[in-house]
Structure 1
């Protein structure tokens, strides 16, 4: 069955950027349709099971007002419905998981509930339609305009979506090839970008950051939840990349910034660097006795990064193979930990590690979706380069100042090992702005990049890909589409008209966007 649906703004992809885009466009008075390939909206925050990676100033500044609303709502959700300890309830910076890499580590089901609540007023009024389980399969264009995008459901039903503006908020930039939008994949050459860390040889479109199929679990000492031996376990047990200091299934990995070997432990009581608390989602010490039997954690660690091949712009069979092998890697890591991992007490294995499919909404405790760090990137009106924000290239200690700023962000240039079998690139960056030109394709008039698919390079994608930045990009894209409709102008016209640009930036500020950083240093 095929159904025709029309709206002012069509958003393909209901991840972090897509949800923020829907919020921005619907709040601006426009009718919106948002589709999402997976059952849960929220992307990184939900279906990928990745708690927020944020800048160090996030509690004071460094995000949009709506993202701050999201953060506050997460804390309020626990305070309203969960039996917290008095200390946890009173803590202004309450961190449900007390993870050591996230200031607000929380469960994906909490994120899902909060996102649904934030979008509910627009869904209930009929201004916003959300269709989950639908993937884009076709786009119709007329010259430099997108006319429609067709999405297909899991049962074969199709929706033909028509609108004035189309926002690509998918995790891999899936609309771009369908609509013939010019884009880039992989790693650029230094000859092309002049970046210090670009490839010295030719560009490599298949040189893409590793992705990870995350896994949620808890730990019950004295119990046995050992899974069946994964079919690829023997391969992963013996596999060791040339740039890795130990077998893939071990406690020893390279430090991302120095590449020196670092050895972790599993549990906090075993010593320094406990992986179980690295991205812990729920710390039972925050809750009254009996509320949580154990802590809940997510396995999104160096050991289950998958880099044996890309999944973008490859044959369907190759893509499926790599997606399945990434699942096998995560399950093999779990099985190794349950049966063969050395313990600090001299024992072998942690059979009490229990997968938590209830926490992820998918079998075996695996995430519904892989965590995608890098996909397709538009060839944009403006491309963000390493030299625009690297301290090594900015003797004044400030990132490039963009007259068309639509927001701010901050994160290290953090590149995980790549599918060209290159190791980490993890270097400092200066707090940066998000230029409007990076959201606008060089040719197509009514498509806007609304997630990680903006005009970055392989290098700068490493710091523009995290939660609050993706949210800012998406929300700005939704508001841009609404502004263009209100004023009868294209995104390119907004950027190239000082008067229209100033008016749009005023609208952003009035809606809680921060467009400039205060004076702070590199991260």
Structure 2
């Protein structure tokens, strides 16, 4: 059922692929769809393409050394890296030390815009780009299987109003999801529908590439949020029960510039509220220059080589620009039902957002506002603070020779200097359709990727005996059958030393399981607050891993494909499946799957519904991905290859 808007849609737009979310996964989806000659509609709540590397400001590519050295990435991601290098004459114009590539967020939008134009020309596809646009409603068929159309709201500054990005997101998000014009915005109501001449069934595809799993929330398909209950699949979980209120923290990034002279620094009125939270975190990181250069995104003059805490970097110089993204800094980490950012299904229902016309984005506006205040307070702490919540007094000194970069022409493109949208590490994650071995719904779990041995006292004592046996059997690889039958003791079985190999893998990723845990008390900035106990237990190194097609197919709806961070992963697995190259690979898969499904008149779920039996059309899809330069497996992936020590 769809509500009647206050007026008829201002225009109707035909699509073959509707991509919701202009982050890296959404751009990659559009890129492959355009190269396949399809008509792609791409919506984004901000006016920049790129998500993590632009509107969210985290323009420092998270990569692993081996994959980076071999340049074993999707073709579009490789092109992005090449274009960054051509733009600056080098891949790392910031000379940061966290990554091989740190650059200016506003340039990422320009680069990606040109990439999509070139893909459109090359593939003879058609791109219809809708910035400043949100999906308000979905028209779903009476049997619940097909999204027939979508209603969107696009906003532009009202006559005489201030430009876009004058106000932070918390002050505009509710307006953006409201049909009526306002003093700030003039609205255009858009109805997205399939192309009239498309004869396949389904006749179009909607791809949720949003940052929070917005469409899966609006469509009300089964999903998880936050912590998963401890099980043999997720043995390091911090809770014996699901806890949807504790996803990873989110971050409003900002850019600051080193100056020759001390700058006037104005303390925000709310600074005393947030100051008790801030810290360098660890003694080996307690150095301002180290933190500043960590994600330095622009460095016109190469500083002198220096070292602190065993880390080599070049000292900062006047004119250097740093992007800040720090756990005990501008991370905001709510973890209770009173302040969680991403509403659970129950909260969506109680606030009326699942009623026709009631959708408002599924986020708690007050928590967005507090995240913004926390970030601006962190800047003041960096330049003027003298406290440290984790390391005590005497560690932090003022560094006033810096300024916050604000304004529409600043690296973040906002008057406040904050990123246009917070960097989201985790959102809603679908529960895939029942599959062999996972009767309650497919997912990718901790033990599918983690390098952890699990043969230690904690797991023996914490997990019930049957659960521990299941864990050891699941990790036994070629000896699994012998463990299950009792021929080999669980303790004697050799642990496989690779990630799970999925027969329906259509993409790849590699990163450590990296946590920014929620805080125990509400609000997060409460003096003396601690991270949720046990949340970091699952953190650690991961094997190179795969993206299963089953993790991208939601229950109930046949023409919805899920990309980005909302694929079917667990809370712990999601901590690795969230970085830049993964997002691109998942998007490349989504775009290819949608185009393949339209061409071959086959729904994505039909490609995997007979597994583990052979699926000829699935194999054809995988060959297409590989031929197009989108890897579906790492080199030498095999159940017999146990040597992954070189993949770091």
Give TM-score, length-normalised by structure 2.
0.71
**Secondary structure in 2 aligned to 1:367?**
coil
Counterpart-to-counterpart distance in 1, 2:386 and 2:125: 53
* 8 A contact 2:563–2:586 mirrored in 1: yes
> Is 1:134 matched up with 2:173?
no
Q: Counterpart of 1:86?
A: none
Q: Counterpart of 2:559?
A: 446
165, 172, 188: which one pairs with 2:228? 188
Q: Counterpart of 2:497?
A: 397
Counterpart-to-counterpart distance in 1, 2:602 and 2:56: 36
Deviation at 1:342, TM superposition (A): 7.7
Counterpart-to-counterpart distance in 2, 1:225 and 1:175: 44
Counterpart-to-counterpart distance in 2, 1:175 and 1:199: 28
Counterpart-to-counterpart distance in 2, 1:281 and 1:151: 35
* 8 A contact 2:502–2:548 mirrored in 1: yes
Q: Counterpart of 2:532?
A: 422
350, 353, 367: which one pairs with 2:402? 353
Q: Counterpart of 1:59?
A: 69
Counterpart-to-counterpart distance in 1, 2:119 and 2:503: 32
Structure 1's consecutive aligned runs of 4 or more residues displaced over 6 angstroms after TM superposition are 342-347
Q: Counterpart of 1:148?
A: 149
Q: Counterpart of 1:499?
A: 616
Counterpart-to-counterpart distance in 1, 2:545 and 2:134: 33
Q: Counterpart of 1:456?
A: 569
Q: Counterpart of 1:485?
A: 598
* 8 A contact 1:341–1:350 mirrored in 2: no
> Is 1:162 matched up with 2:262?
no
> Is 1:276 matched up with 2:292?
yes
Q: Counterpart of 2:239?
A: 200
Q: Counterpart of 1:264?
A: 286
* 8 A contact 2:285–2:291 mirrored in 1: no
Matches within 5 A, 1:305-384: 305-308=331-334, 309-313=339-343, 314=347, 319-341=364-386, 348-357=397-406, 358-381=410-433, 382-384=442-444
Deviation at 1:339, TM superposition (A): 2.2
Deviation at 1:286, TM superposition (A): 5.7
Which is worse superposed, 495-504 or 439-448?
A: 495-504
* 8 A contact 2:20–2:208 mirrored in 1: yes
Task: Render the CA deviation track for 1:135-172: whole Å, top value 9, x for unaligned.
Answer: 11111101211111222123322211123100000000
Matches within 5 A, 1:210-221: 210-221=249-260
Q: Counterpart of 2:15?
A: 7
Counterpart-to-counterpart distance in 1, 2:498 and 2:273: 47
Q: Counterpart of 1:431?
A: 544
Task: Render the CA deviation track for 1:203-250: whole Å, top value 9, x for unaligned.
Answer: 111111110111111111323141x3223211112x3xxxxxxxx223
> Is 1:23 matched up with 2:31?
yes
Root-mean-square deviation (CA, aligned residues, Å) is 2.4
**Matched positions, count:** 482
Counterpart-to-counterpart distance in 2, 1:296 and 1:318: 31
Q: Counterpart of 2:273?
A: 235
* 8 A contact 2:34–2:120 mirrored in 1: no
Q: Counterpart of 1:250?
A: 279
Deviation at 1:306, TM superposition (A): 0.5
Q: Counterpart of 2:176?
A: none
487, 496, 520: which one pairs with 2:644? 520
Matches within 5 A, 1:276-315: 276-285=292-301, 294-302=319-327, 303-308=329-334, 309-313=339-343, 314=347
Distance 1:200 1:180, change over 3 A: closer
Distance 1:392 1:345, change over 3 A: closer
Counterpart-to-counterpart distance in 2, 1:347 and 1:374: 31
Give TM-score, length-normalised by structure 1.
0.87
Deviation at 1:419, TM superposition (A): 5.1
Deviation at 1:346, TM superposition (A): 9.9
Structure 2 unaligned blocks of 5 or more: 1-8, 156-185, 195-203, 304-316, 352-359, 434-441, 454-474, 476-494, 521-530, 636-642
* 8 A contact 1:100–1:279 mirrored in 2: yes
Q: Counterpart of 2:511?
A: 411
113, 118, 123: which one pairs with 1:116? 113
* 8 A contact 2:34–2:125 mirrored in 1: no
Counterpart-to-counterpart distance in 2, 1:328 and 1:264: 23
Which is worse superposed, 366-375 or 118-127?
A: 118-127
Deviation at 1:128, TM superposition (A): 0.5
Deviation at 1:262, TM superposition (A): 4.4
**Secondary structure in 1 aligned to 2:111?**
helix
**Secondary structure in 1 aligned to 2:566?**
coil
* 8 A contact 1:140–1:148 mirrored in 2: yes
* 8 A contact 1:19–1:42 mirrored in 2: yes
> Is 1:171 matched up with 2:211?
yes
Task: Render the CA deviation track for 1:260-283: whole Å, top value 9, x for unaligned.
Answer: x5442111xxxxxx1011111112
